[in-house]
Amino acid sequence: MVADKDKNGLAQGKIYIVATPIGNLEDITLRALRVLKEVGLIAAESREHTGKLCRYYNIKTPITSYNSHNQHFKGRVLLEKVNLGLDIALVSDAGTPGLSDPGSRLIREAIDANIRLVPIPGVSASLAALSICGLRTDRFIFVGFLSNKKGRRRKELESLRPEWRTMVFFESPHRLLKMLTDIYEILGNREIALAKEMTKVFEDVKRGSVSKVLSLLKDEKIRGEYTIIVEGRKEKERHLSVVDNR
Domain locations along the chain:
4-123, 126-240
- pTM for this one? 0.84
**Under CATH, what is the fold of the domain 4-123?**
Cobalt-precorrin-4 Transmethylase; domain 1 (3.40.1010)
Return mean pLDDT, the chain: 91
Tell me the CATH class for 126-240.
alpha beta
CB 168 within 8 A of CB 141: yes
Average pLDDT over residues 95-119: 92
The alpha helices in the chain, defined as continuous H runs, are 30-38, 47-56, 71-83, 103-112, 125-131, 150-159, 176-187, 210-217, 235-244
Whether the domain at 4-123 and the domain at 126-240 fall into the same CATH topology: no
11-12 and 4-5 beta bridge pairing:
antiparallel
- Whether the predicted pLDDT of 244 surpasses 80: no
The confidence score (pLDDT) of residue 44 equals 96
DSSP reduced 3-state for 204: strand
Average pLDDT over residues 130-140: 96
Average pLDDT over residues 127-142: 96
The confidence score (pLDDT) of residue 4 equals 62
- Whether the predicted pLDDT of 246 surpasses 70: no
